[in-house]
Each structure stands twice: as structure tokens, then as C-alpha cells.
Structure 1
Amino acid sequence: MSQAHYRTCNLCEAMCGVVIHTEEGLEGEGVRITSVKGDQNDPFSRGHICAKAIALKTLQEDPDRLRYPMKRTTDGWQEISWQQAFDEVEQGIKAVQAKYGRHAVGFYVGNPTVHNLGATLFVPPLMAALHSKNKFSATSVDQLPHMLAALQMFGHQLLLPIPDVDNTDFMLMLGANPAASNGSLMTGGDIMGRIKGIQQRGGRVVVLDPRRTETAQQVGEHIFIKPASDVYFLAALLHVLFKETTLNKAAIEQQALGLEMLELAVESFSPERVATVTGIEAAVIRQLAHDFAKAERAVCYGRMGVCTQEFGGVSAWLINAINVVTGNLDKVGGALFNHPAVDLVGLTSSSPALRGSFNRYQSRVRGLPEFNGELPVAVLAEEILTEGKGQIKALITHAGNPVLSTPNGQQVDQALASLDFMVAIDIYLNETTRHAHIILPPTGVLEHGHYDLVFNILAVRNVSKYSPPLLTPPDNTRHDWQILLELAARFNANNAKEKWLWQGIKRIVERLQPEGILDLLLQLGPYGQLPLGLTPVAAQSSQLLIKALNAFPPTHGVARQLKQLLTATPLNGKAQGLSLAKLKANPHGLDLGALQPSLAERICTPDRKVILAPHLYLAELSRAFTQLNAHQRREPNQFLLIGRRHIRSNNSWLHNSLPLIKGKNRCTAMMNQADASALAVNEGDMIRVKSRVGDITLPVEIVDDMMTGVISIPHGFGHHRQGTQLSIAEGKAGVSMNDITDEHYVDGISGTAALNGLAVTVLPMTAKTKAKKSKQIDVLN
């Protein structure tokens, strides 16, 4: 008999509702998934899903997925018990720290971590337990510039302005392709339906990108822009807004500080000055500025292509500045802050330490800055390979594959192979985890409950939905949170007293489980109960947490903050009785309302105003101006590299799903017909793409949608390395774009990897070079 289960798909940011049908299999087979469809009754996604949703089934059923701890031995991988695995991990990590110091252990967190409730809650305690400054995550190959801009301008790293796509009249989009990504830092079920809705109600969507992306093809208006030149376009747009449009400066100064400094900073960036470097005619820039200023409700939005470039930090700042000076920040139809049911901003805004940090310390070798307790992942390999005090000798990874997802992947590969000890918390034996000494695999995506703590902060509406476990995990398996909690307790226990303390805390948290913590957070949020009205589960959770927090010394800042939150009254004036029980009673989810202006109550800066001209951005904009001429030179056979994404992929880990990877080869180098003709290559011919750090060989795909002088290669491929266990992905191995991205090419402010705009040399493959390359690959493998 078929049974329906309602969940949120947690494979990307969109939070689409799905209905999964199961039925009992034959004796001994257990429950079978028979279909995955869009949930028509989900108030957020309204029945929309993309092709990726089928991976909820294929990931769960993948025979390559690991389920029990694995140890690498001279005879190959050996399955071991959880007790042995935890003991060896504890011994290995503590031995490295005893010999080389606490900073000799690094930690890398991959993108899937934030799509997992238990992992989101329990990765931070494990990272803290290591007491190491060498912490890294996918943040610094993704959205870090936007988070830094939020910290600098609004006082909190999570105060990220969200485009109000449901109400805007004019959306100006740079470096984003929501038709492939489903939206990013703009979480919205059926995001393309929402964006198309702008045009349907008479508005405009203008996409600036070096490629006429799937998004640009669907919404109609597209302008080619040279890779990594967004900073010049945005500065010129502001220049025109100040010089040629009527700005309500009095209103701006009520909301923000530094308007005159911003105007002075963009004084030299006239449209005529930047036309060549951007590839956009001055008249087009000028008209866009006027049209944006005249629109009743407009929003400027930029994403991955904006962040991961040399001037990604200053570009993220300028996007916010454009929304501010045109009166579109904190305005319906502009850029708004939301009020999620679990309000991480509200829970942390009273503590400066919890709002975020920047440049408190720097990386040992190159001196790149810390952000929120993490170093840019572009320095990970050098911190492992460079000898000296503080050298990373051991590494823990969680749900990450930096060999394929971070710059100079070949160097990362080499670095991981040199570690004294490595632990991977991962479901796959992949290009990164093959270097681990111990792999600790968590349960499958459908075997634990789910709630989007992070992506509700980025949602285009305030919504809330809980997904209970759909399947019972096999005996003797562990959830992410159980693995992370066990390791955190062990690494915090350095003597008998600490061991006793942390074992007690561990038992309390095991009683709560992530759902107990979630229930408490929901009721502490803007739609929850007042403390005196807590449900029994949340009240018990609160009492247990207070008991655990009492074990910490009074000087422990985080513990003190949490105790204050748990005992404060009243918490809010919007109590609607939201709790885990209420979400369980509404399996399709709850719509909590549209985004509303809230800057005055949300902002965390000292003067409660937006800081329009932070000094670090002014200096970086000045540096960008000095490089204007450098961007105009092009050597023979030189192209600018950009990445790309496909609707059927997300990270490298989805490449082991046959329904998502089958079909024609997607690992191709897209280029314009004129460039292909100049190189004397035809569709499908092999080319060699070289950079300072390496070279790759892949087939050409000739398209009309590429800007001349630009080449596009997708992210996440390169499954040809030996020692992996990815049978489907290996059949579509491709090559890794990150084998040619340069770890020294980074955003000048934040150190975020600049994966776009890198100059590469492209050469056609002759019969002789093909044979030589084939021989080199055989030697490497």
C-alpha cells in the first residue's frame, strides 16, 4: 500500500516541497520509494520541483554510499566498529596536537553541511573543541563577499538583503543564473516562475553575464559583460546615479552614513571610462542607471559570478550601495530583510562576538584574513605543505570535496596525501576522502529529520516547515549530529573532570536531539511562545540546556548569552504559538507572511544606520581604478575563464546519480564561434586549457551565447582519480575546472577564491599533443 510523505528537498537552496510515495517491499526489502513529485500544497514552492529532486531517492539507494566506519590500511579499506573508529580518531587528532600544537589540526566544512539540521547545529561545537585557527569552509569559494558586506554595512554577517522578487518592477542581475541554481542567497520555490512574474506584470529583468545563460534566455533582456569587470560597471552605474539622476539625499541620510564619501569614491568611474574594460557601451550603462532610478520598485542582485572574482568584495558592497542610494533598501519590491521562524540574527545580535568577525588574525603563510573564525580555503594546501610552526598536520572534513571544489585542486590533492592523519565525515569514498585514514559515514538524507535553519534566513517569504524522518536507518548507523557530538565531547575531555562534564552534556543533548533544540529555537523566535508558555517539550529542552550551561564558568561568553536568551522575558510581541508540534501538524509547511521593511529593528551598527562607505572598500575601489588599463590587454590565445552550473547538478556528489548525470557530455568548454574559428577547432574537438597551476583537456562546445574571448567550463567534474568508489561518476569523469584555477588569484579584501575572470591559454590539440597528453595521464593514474 502506497504512503505519502511530505518533505522539503534539501539538495539546493530553493526549499521546494516534495511528496515522496513509498510502499512496503518484498519480505526483507523494507520500504521502497516509488515516486518523488512536487507538493502542490506547499505554500512556498506551489508544486514546483526540478530534476535534482530524484536524487533524494538515488542518493538514499546508492550502492556506493558508505554506511559504516572505514579504515584505510595497507591492504585497502577495512570496515571497523564505531567504538574503534572514535577511539582511533581521538588518539590520532590528540597525538598530532600534542606533538605540533593545537593549530596543527585543520577542519574543512563542505556545502552540504548547511542543508542538514543536525550538522548545522553540531559542526560549530566540534570546530570549537579543536581550539584551532585553521578552520575552512565552502564559504570562501562562494558567498563570503556578501556576508562581509553585511557585516561591514549592517553590523551582522547574516543580515543579507533579499530581493523582493514577488513585488519588484525592475531586477538588475549580475553573475547569477537562477534557472540553473534555483536561486542563491535568494531562496524561493519556483524562483524562475517568480522572476518571470516580474515581466508578466509589466516589469523588467536585465541580466548582465559573459554568457547568455539559461536565465537570460528565459527572461529576454541580456547584456554581455566581460568577466571580473562587474566592479567597473557597478561604480559607473553609481557615478551616473549621483551625477544625472535625482536622489533623495535627505532620505538616504536618514537611513545611512557616508553618502558624500561614496559619491566621491565613484567620481572617476564615468561610463566612458569603463566602457572598454566592461565591454558595455557608455550609453547602455547610462540608460540602465536612469531606468533603474526611475523604476518605482527596483532591486540590484549579484551572486556567484560577482563573488568569486578579484574584486568580488567591493562588487558585493556596491550592489548594496546601489539599492541604498536609489531608496530600494528596506522597501517592498526592493531588497528586504526577513524574519525567519528560527531567528539566528535576533538570537545573536546582542553579542558583537556572535555577529561575525573579520581580520582578527591572518593565515600563517600568505597572511590572508580570517572571517567569522575561518581562513580562506585558498590557503589550505599551502598551510599543509609549508613547514614550520603552525603547519597543518591533520585534517577533519565534513561533507566536503575540496580536491574538486577549491582552487588548484592538484595541489590540494598533493597536500592531503602528505597529512599525518585525516578524518572524513562523509557518505562517499571520493576524490578527497580517499586520503582519509578514517571515514565516518552518517545516515542518509531521508533517514533523519530536516529543517532549513540557514536558507529560511535567505527566503523571499517568511515560511517554516519541518520534515520528519521518512526511513528508519539501518541498525548500528549514526546521524551526523551523533558523530559530531561524540567527537566534540572527546576532544573537550583532556582530564577526568572535563571528561565527566562533557559526558554529562553529551547525555543531555542526546535526550534533546536536534528536534528538541529546534522546538526551543522556534518558540524563542518571532512567531513562538513567550517563555512562560513554552510547550512541555520546549520547556524540558530549556531546562536541560540551562542545566548543561551551568556547568560552564561564568566567563564563558557563548554559554552566558544562551542562558540569558533562555531566561529572558518577553521575547517578542508577535507570539503565534509556533512550535515543532505545530509544524508537525502542518506537514506542507506554514506561510508566515511576505517580507516587510524592518531595517530599523534589525540593523546592528553602533549608530543604527547603514555604513555606506567602509574604509576597506574605498581603498579596494581605488586599487581597482589603478588596474583599469591592465584589464584591456589580451595575449594571443588568451581567454578569460568562467564557470557554469547545470540544473541537474549542485556539487560533485550529485554526479553519482545516474538520472542526473546521464545524457550528453556536460563537461565541455563553451566558446563563441568566432573564437573557435580563430583557433581552427570544430564542435567536439579537444582543446588544452592552461594556467599557471596546470592544464586540462576537454572538448569544445560552440555556442552563440558566449562573449568573445571568454571560455566557460563547469564545476564539479574530474572523477578520474584512482582510489574512489563512485561508479556512476567515473563513467562521466570529465575534468576539474579547479585543476587550473589559481589559489593566488583571490578577492583582494576577503581572500575568497577568484574562480572567474582568470586568464588562461587555449590551444587546439594536434594528433601529436593528444598522444603526449594521453601518455601523461597514464603516468599520473
Structure 2
Amino acid sequence: MPRTALRICPLCEATCGLTLTIEGSTVTGARGDREDVFSHGFICPKGAAFGALDADPDRLRSPLVRRDGRLEEATWEEAYEAIAAAVPALVRKRGAQSVGVVLGNPNVHTMAGQLYPPLLLKALGTRNLFTASTLDQMPKHVSSGLLFGDPFAIPVPDLDRTDFLLLLGANPLESNGSLCTAPDFPGRLKALRARGGTLVVVDPRRTRTAQLADRHLAPRPGSDALLLAALAHTLLAEKLTDLGELAEHTDGFGELSGALASFTPEAVAPACDLPADEIRDLARALAAAPTAAVYGRIGSSTVAYGTPASWLVDVLNVLTGNLDRPGGSLFPLSATDRAPRPAAPGKGFGLGRWRSRVSGHPEAKAEFPMAALAEEIETPGEGQIRALVSIAANPVLSAPDGRRLDAALAGLDFMISVDPYLNETSRHAHVVLPPPPPSQSAHFDFSFNSFAIRNQVRYSPPAVPLEDGGMDECEIHARLVLAVSGMHGTEPEAVDDLAIQTTLARETADPCSPLHGQDPARLAGLLTGVTGPERRLDLMLRIGPYGDRFGLPAGLPGGADAATAFRAGSGAAMGFRAGSGAGADAGADSDSDSDSDGIDAGAGPGLGLARLLAHPHGIDLGPLRPRLPGLLKTRSGRIELLPDPIAAELPRLRAALADRPAGLVLVGRRHLRSNNSWLHNVPALTGGSNRCTLHVHPDDAGRLGLADGGLARITADGGSLEVPVEVTDSIRAGVVSLPHGWGHDRSGTRLSVASATPGANVNQLLDGTRLDPLSGTAVLNGFPVELTPLP
């Protein structure tokens, strides 16, 4: 008989709740979970295809080990023995920096990908870390680190309560959101307009999101920072600023006018290709709105001035008094965050604490640019990367100059790939460790709950038992940590036990912790959970801001900030609105119920894993609330509105006022049924609009002799591609668009569906030299290209 099971979707940042239909051990259907406290039944085509992805016949079912130059199926023991024999010996011979680690985007979509890579890096002792962040979001981390002292303190727009949303470089109707976890983003934007609010979209393409907007501005790609600077200049010059309560927590306001003096609407208008009056009018509308939020994402981040643009987004939110304010942009408080503490100066955020070996790129958030990986492998000398651990990453497609990286990976002494597919990157590995299908893994969103537009917490146990011969994804990672650290053969639970001991030792020694002075061993014995990862989750929930603190006396360090962040209680006083099946409050519609605090004072004790398991549809923790100044970790203990590294970047931005592209520039685009290079092997998600075509405006097509459906050669810094042309007026003249994540045409992969319609790898047009200097993020949008028609 078919049965149903609940599962949080791991395929994009929206984290929608799914109800899976299962026959035997096969997922035969997926629909939205109507009782989910966050998504309320919303589902997109990716979630609906969960079963097809789960059962993909191209998924690897057992480890692969390279023997005599060929990857062959092996046992788990053989795979880990190969790792244990190679990596520790290489580290002893050539040092810790001879090993690099690459973390791909899917890591933040799994429990294992969040819990174990920090332990892996510590075990290896390497600083050679490369992640997908320098291909999308690192500018936002850097700007938040400089403004607030914490690179993870990223405010999100209060979508359900705002009156005015200015959205730059984002297309959430296709992407479902980025650094803003919001199930049914399209529905929330429609609700914004239905309640009389205003949506303004800035994008060189007339996207589906732009079509929904009250106003659409189509500037030249890459000019976002100039536009934002002109908006800030206008607010300052016309005395339209109102910091409100932020004034007493902000430094640098007085210096901002001088720093932005050059960026008048008239000065930026030619570079943006927008009328100065339209820029000035937008600034006035932003200031006049009762509440407003400015939100910029990938299109404003992966450009030459990505960090200044990300900084200016929050400068505008501060200047209008909309930062940390309901209806503006607020800081979420996830259930696994640290409990709020007394406001106090912090250590601040450092950039460039060390530099890459070859080109001297400064680290950002302890990471080097992904674009620098190939040179670190190729270039001989002390610290040359000779072994690589790649976890859920496919940089041959996702990073610039994949051909060069492809060749570099082939020359490694040893490579480990944790990946369910033999793809363009993992085909170079000496050992491939395949995680099980997602239905067989537990799920908790550590990262995305920290960017969610409503505080909530949900957990999905495995929906289907592990198949014969499979290994749990968390165990795969734990055994990898042991193998590279010379402890192969130790039980994997030791890794989780060590993590728990380390956390409890820190908390019980910390005078600001509710566990201060307690016995760590006693507290460890109180943890619940069947597995090591569940025990670690239980610990994080119990010491988090909503946790039961092991039943210790109530009273949080943090004073007024903690009290305003949430209604605190330990043991008897704390409860939450939850969805738990028949008879439970499923969580009222997020729009109509947006002002409810989500707390039911009579619902029982504080949060822990046992309580979460009792509510399989999740627990609603209420709307976002103001959190300043408690979360600030700058050295001053205040918002540092004009940090020195940003001030040093402004002369470079001023020089851009004179920039005028001589020809065409390229931007990427999103597809609703795709996510980077992940999903091109699922038949249900291919075809239709999900195609790798070059969008060209009719005027440009006519001028260049390009025909709709014909072929063109596109050339840039890194080389040329042949691509099919799609002539459309949805893109502005002077701009062309090619989606990313394609290029599945290399031999040695096992991606039968993707390789049948491989598409072209847009990142091959880049040689990796175009970077946003503060964040090391590759410039993937707004770079110049040339087009030539092909017969």
C-alpha cells in the first residue's frame, strides 16, 4: 500500500514542505504540504520532480576507486582505505597546504554539508578553501561583515509587511529567492501589490518578476552600484534621510555625504543609461514609503562592483530608517543561532588576513576565489595543491575557464569527490563517495533558516530507509574526516561526540552562556536523538534562542535585546504555534497572520529535538523582530556605515562614471526548473523554456545579421562558444543573455539526459581575471562579448 511521508525540499532556497507518496522504497509523487507552517502547500516544478531526481538511474549507488587509471566500483571500506593511505601521507610529505577543499552550492542544502566540512577543514589544517560563495553571494557576506561585524548578519526584506520593495538583480519568480528564504515568493510579491504596496524591479531583462512590477528600470548591466549611490546621494542632498532609532547605533553618517558627492543622478545617468529624473524620482518614492526594503541579489553581486553594490543596499535601508524595522529589512533569528547576548563591541570583520600563494588574492571569510583554484593546482612550489577534496561541487562548469581547471584537475596526485553523480568535475576523482538519494537522508536547514522571512523550525527524518549497501550521508562525511586525519577505523560517532564535547566545553566556560558552570558530561547525557547528527541538532536547539536550556533556570543573558528578540522562557514558560497533524493549528496564511507573534504561552516547554519531532509540519516562531544593537560585532559595537575598505573602493567606482561599453555585454539568467548544474539530468525538468539559448534584442540581431533559431559565435576574454540564438524584446538592446550551469559535453561522465542536450558553458567565456577585488567574486555578469553569425 502507498504511504506518505513529509520532507523539506532540498532543491532551492525556498525550503518548501513536501508530502511524498511512497510505494515500497520508491517515491512516486510529491505535492506541497498544506500544513507546513512556512510554505503552506506551495510547490514549484523542482519540488514536484523530487521523485524523479531521487530515483535517477544515473545516480551512483556505490563508491568508485581509480585503479590503473579507471574508476571502478568498490566497497566503502576500500574507498576509505584508499583515502587513508593517500591523504595523511601527502600532508606529511608536502604540508597541510598541499590539500585544497572545494565546497559546492548543494552543501548548504544538506545536514551533512553543514555539520562536517568545518571539522574536515580543522582536521586537514589547510587554508586552501574554495566555495561557491565567490561565484554568487560573497559580496553580501563582505559588506555585512564590514557594516555589522558579522558576515552572516544579512538582513532580509520583510516581504509580508513592507509597503515598498526595490529589487535589483533578482528574479525570484524563476529562482525562488536567494539569501531570502521565502516559500511562494511570487505569491508574496502579488500580495504586496494587492495590499496597495509598490514593487520596483531593476533588471536589464524584462523577467517574469519585472512583468509583475509597478515599475521596471532596465539599466546597463554592472551599473547597479552607481544607481544605488545616486539614490543615496539624492536622499542625503535633499535631506530625505530619517535614521530613526538607528541613529544612536550608527557611525559614519556624517562622512557619507562627502564620500558620495560625485554620484549625482546626472553624473550616473549616462553610465546607467537611465534618465536622471527617473533616478531622483525613485529615491523620493523610496523615502516617502511608510515602510520599504531594498533587496539586491545575484545580478548586482556578480559584477565588477559587487561589494559596493551590496553595501549600498543596506546603506539605503539605514538612511530611510528601514533597517531592523518591521516592514523594512530585518535580521532573522534561527532556532540554531546562538542565544542573544548583551550588546558589546566585538572583534570586527577582517579581510585579507592571509593571501593566496600564486596571485596574492586576499581571503574573504576564510575563502579564496574559486577562479584561483586552477593556478593553485598548476603552479609548482611550496604550498602547491596536490590533493583536492570536492564536496557537492562542479567547478568545471560553475567557475570561470573550465577548460583550464579541467586540465589542472587531471594532474592532481589525489582527488576525493563526495557527489551522487559522475559529472564534469568528479570524473577526475581517485575516490568518489556517493551520498544516498535525498529521501533516505534526514534534513534540517541550518543556513536557510538564518535567511528566512519568518522565524520557524522544521526537521525531516529520512522518509525511506537506506538501500542495501548504502551509507548515510552524515556517516560518509564523518568517516571522511577520520580518514584524512589518520584515524581511519575509528567509529564515526566519535566525530559527533567530539563536536558535542567541544561545544559544551565552550558553553559551560562562557559567562554569557545559560550553561555556564554546568557539568558538560551530564548535559551530554541528557541529549536525545537516534544518531550523532540528531544529538548535535538537539544540542544546538536546546542552547539556541528558543531552547529549553536543559531545564535550567530561566533568564537569558542579553537583557533588553534578548527580551525584544523573542518571548524568552526556559522549561515551563515557552511555547510556539506548531503544525502537527490532525487538530493542530497549521499556521494561518502568512499574509493575513503576519503580525501574529507566533507564540502560544500555554503550549509547553522550550525547544529541543523531541519537541520538534512531535511537530512534523514544523513550529512557527513568529515574525522577524528588531535585533539591534545586540547582534552587532563591530569593534565599535555600532553600525559602521562607511568602513575603510569600502571607502577605499569608492575612487574605483567613481572611475566607472566614465565607462561606456563599446559593444555588447552579457548577463546570465535563471530557469524555474533548473538550479546551477544540478538538475539537467532529470527529464521532467528539461525542455520548454529551460533551454540554453542566447537571448538577443531584435535591434542587435538585425544589426549583426542574426536570425532567430540560427547559430552565433560568442567571444570574450576566455574564448568562444557556438550557441543557438533566440531573438526577443524581453532584453534591452546592447545586452545578450546566456544561462549558466550548462556544458555537459565532456567524455567520462554518467549524465545520460544532460549529455543528450549539453548546452554551452557560459563561464568558458571568462578567463578568471575579472573579479570584484574586495570579495574575490568572479564577474559573471556585465562583461563585454562579441557576436558573429554562423551559417
TM, length-normalised to structure 1:
0.88
Partner of 1:384: 377
Separation in 1, partners of 2:647, 2:669 = 30
Structure 1 segment 495-574 matched on structure 2, within 5 A: 504-505=494-495, 512-532=531-551
Question: Cα offset for 1:381?
Answer: 0.7
Q: Which blocks of at least 5 consecutive residues in structure 2 are unaligned?
A: 500-528, 554-568, 576-604
Moved more, 69-78 or 745-754: 69-78
Give the letter for the 1:390 counterpart. G
Moved more, 704-713 or 522-531: 522-531
Separation in 2, partners of 1:404, 1:572 = 52
Partner of 1:187: 181
Separation in 2, partners of 1:107, 1:572 = 45
Secondary structure of the 1:423 match is: strand
Correspondent of 1:605 among 596, 614, 634: 634
Partner of 1:159: 153
Separation in 2, partners of 1:511, 1:344 = 24
Separation in 2, partners of 1:397, 1:55 = 26
Partner of 1:225: 219
Secondary structure of the 1:19 match is: strand
Separation in 2, partners of 1:573, 1:620 = 50
Structure 1 segment 59-74 matched on structure 2, within 5 A: 59-74=53-68
Partner of 2:199: 205
Secondary structure of the 1:763 match is: strand
Partner of 1:681: 706
Going from structure 1 to structure 2, the CA distance change for 1:55 and 1:92 (only over 3 Å counts) comes to: farther
Question: Cα offset for 1:34?
Answer: 2.4
Separation in 2, partners of 1:19, 1:659 = 19
Separation in 1, partners of 2:624, 2:493 = 43
Correspondent of 2:171 among 156, 173, 177: 177
Question: Cα offset for 1:267?
Answer: 0.5
Structure 1 segment 126-165 matched on structure 2, within 5 A: 126-165=120-159
Deviation per CA, 1:650-709: give whole Å up to 9, x if none: 121211100001336610000110000011111011011111211111111111111111
Question: Cα offset for 1:265?
Answer: 0.9
Partner of 1:632: 660
Question: Cα offset for 1:165?
Answer: 0.6
Separation in 2, partners of 1:624, 1:611 = 20
Partner of 1:738: 763
Partner of 1:97: 91
Give the letter for the 2:625 counterpart. Q
Going from structure 1 to structure 2, the CA distance change for 1:356 and 1:518 (only over 3 Å counts) comes to: farther
Question: Cα offset for 1:571?
Answer: 11
Moved more, 410-419 or 640-649: 410-419
Partner of 1:472: 465
Does residue 308 in structure 1 map to residue 302 in structure 2? yes
Q: Is the 8 A contact 1:665 1:732 kept in 2?
A: no
Correspondent of 1:317 among 297, 311, 318: 311
Secondary structure of the 1:601 match is: coil
Does residue 236 in structure 1 map to residue 261 in structure 2? no
Partner of 1:593: 622
Q: Is the 8 A contact 2:681 2:752 kept in 1?
A: yes
Partner of 1:262: 256
Moved more, 89-98 or 236-245: 89-98
Does residue 444 in structure 1 map to residue 437 in structure 2? yes
**Count of aligned residue pairs for this structure pair:** 718
Give the letter for the 1:689 counterpart. I
Going from structure 1 to structure 2, the CA distance change for 1:262 and 1:501 (only over 3 Å counts) comes to: farther
Q: Is the 8 A contact 2:548 2:570 kept in 1?
A: no
Give the letter for the 1:697 counterpart. E
Going from structure 1 to structure 2, the CA distance change for 1:696 and 1:573 (only over 3 Å counts) comes to: farther
Question: Cα offset for 1:83?
Answer: 1.3
Separation in 2, partners of 1:501, 1:659 = 40
Give the letter for the 1:685 counterpart. G
Secondary structure of the 2:450 match is: helix
Moved more, 267-276 or 37-46: 37-46
Partner of 2:511: none
Give the letter for the 1:717 counterpart. W
Going from structure 1 to structure 2, the CA distance change for 1:261 and 1:374 (only over 3 Å counts) comes to: same
Deviation per CA, 1:42-97: give whole Å up to 9, x if none: 12111111000133211211111012110223473211111111111122222322
Going from structure 1 to structure 2, the CA distance change for 1:492 and 1:633 (only over 3 Å counts) comes to: closer
Does residue 690 in structure 1 map to residue 684 in structure 2? no
Q: Is the 8 A contact 1:54 1:659 kept in 2?
A: no
Secondary structure of the 2:179 match is: coil
Secondary structure of the 1:442 match is: coil
Correspondent of 2:782 among 757, 760, 773: 757
Deviation per CA, 1:613-668: give whole Å up to 9, x if none: 00111111111102321x2140xxx3111111100001212111000013366100
Partner of 1:364: 357
Does residue 296 in structure 1 map to residue 290 in structure 2? yes
Q: Is the 8 A contact 1:493 1:499 kept in 2?
A: no
Separation in 1, partners of 2:395, 2:708 = 31
Partner of 2:406: 413
Q: Is the 8 A contact 1:71 1:437 kept in 2?
A: yes
Separation in 2, partners of 1:57, 1:347 = 43
Secondary structure of the 2:100 match is: strand
Separation in 2, partners of 1:483, 1:626 = 50
Separation in 1, partners of 2:492, 2:617 = 38
Separation in 2, partners of 1:247, 1:220 = 24
Secondary structure of the 2:629 match is: helix
Deviation per CA, 1:202-252: give whole Å up to 9, x if none: 111000011111111123421101111111101111110001143236755
Separation in 2, partners of 1:185, 1:281 = 30
Going from structure 1 to structure 2, the CA distance change for 1:179 and 1:347 (only over 3 Å counts) comes to: farther
Going from structure 1 to structure 2, the CA distance change for 1:350 and 1:521 (only over 3 Å counts) comes to: farther
Separation in 2, partners of 1:281, 1:325 = 23
Separation in 1, partners of 2:343, 2:667 = 37
Q: Which has the higher helix share?
A: 1
Q: Is the 8 A contact 1:210 1:226 kept in 2?
A: yes
Give the letter for the 1:589 counterpart. G
Secondary structure of the 1:689 match is: strand
Separation in 2, partners of 1:253, 1:352 = 19
Q: Is the 8 A contact 1:525 1:571 kept in 2?
A: no
Percent pairwise identity:
41
Correspondent of 1:656 among 655, 660, 681: 681
Question: Cα offset for 1:330?
Answer: 0.7
Partner of 2:116: 122
Question: Cα offset for 1:570?
Answer: 7.7
Deviation per CA, 1:12-42: give whole Å up to 9, x if none: 0001111111123xxxxxx232210011111
Going from structure 1 to structure 2, the CA distance change for 1:572 and 1:431 (only over 3 Å counts) comes to: farther
Separation in 2, partners of 1:93, 1:66 = 23
Give the letter for the 1:15 counterpart. T
Give the letter for the 1:599 counterpart. L
TM, length-normalised to structure 2:
0.87
Separation in 1, partners of 2:755, 2:339 = 42
Secondary structure of the 1:7 match is: strand
Partner of 2:652: 623
Separation in 2, partners of 1:311, 1:345 = 35
